[in-house]
Amino acid sequence: MKAAIYPNFQKNNALDCAKRLCDILIENNFEIFIDNSFKNEFKNKPRIKYGCFDEMAGQADFAIAVGGDGTILKCAKRLIKTDTKLLGINTGRLGFMSALEYDQLEQIENLVKGDYCVSERMMLTAKINNGGSIYMLDALNDVSISSVYANICDFNIHVDKRLLGKYRADGVVFSTPTGSTAYSLSAGGPIIEPEMECIEMTLICPHSLFARPMIFSPSKKIRFENCCERNPDMFISVDGGEPIKLSCGSWLEIAASEHKIKIVDMTGNTFYNSLNQKLMRPIK
């Protein structure tokens, strides 16, 4: 079997975790791929093949992200249009999307036994038209739109070309079920089972007593129009990435992506375990 490792050494213990992971994979007769940029960190490890991660990940059975949820999201982007399964190992803080914690690496041998489940996750496609400049981006978690310095914004939302509403808020988050436990949750959105297929819309600090999150079927196309003339520039972030400016009069269209990401679940109950052990901690 083949595994491509995608580490984030800015996270605590990530380097030690990745090295130990290599030892366990070698013991279980895995062929290991690592990007050229990490040759120095793994120079004492045998049987590792180096190259371009994007090319090697497409040949691998598993891509293993070592870090936090952000690392998993970045790795997922590299797996679009591949059949490679994604396994997350948490060395960060929350690690909600991870299948394993740093002290559970011995469970890697279950990959050889086939003792794991695969959770298929929908993605969103964001089509951005900013003054005629078109961008197309995919999101596993969410697409958020807001202004700088928490300036209140005016915007319109259309669903399948029908006006849903004219809103005044700090912004809005469109999320997948996978992303329902991220920014959308903090903004007051509901938690959704990750295998469901739907598009969630959660307003950020709406200036209204009645605005509520909404759930749309995956067949819908949702258009966000920036009509804020007082503070004309808003900014789009896809899965927490670098912001893209959206000027007044420009628009963003959200739809379900044709691509999906296969996430490894080592227990078949990772989502509920994470929900219970991580998000519920403050009230226990």
Catalytic residues: 69
DSSP string over 145-184: EE-GGG--EEEEEEETTEEEEEEEESEEEEE-SGGGGTHH
- Give the total residue count for the chain: 284
B/e letters for 241-255, b = 16+ CB within 10 Å, e = fewer, are eeebebebebbbbbb
* Coil vs helix vs strand at 276: helix
Count of CB atoms situated within 10 Å of the CB of 271: 21
Count of alpha carbons within 13 angstroms of residue 44, beta-carbon side: 6
β-strands 222-226, 62-67 pairing: unpaired
Rg (CA), the chain: 20
CB neighbour burial string for 59-70, b if at least 16 within 10 angstroms, e if fewer: ebebbbbbbbbb
DSSP code at position 275: I
Contacts of 186 (CB under 8 A, 6+ apart): none
**Could you tell me if 138 and 124 are in contact, meaning their C-beta atoms sit under 8 angstroms apart?**
yes
Note whether 135 and 273 are within 8 A (CB). Answer: no
92 CA to centre of own chain: 15
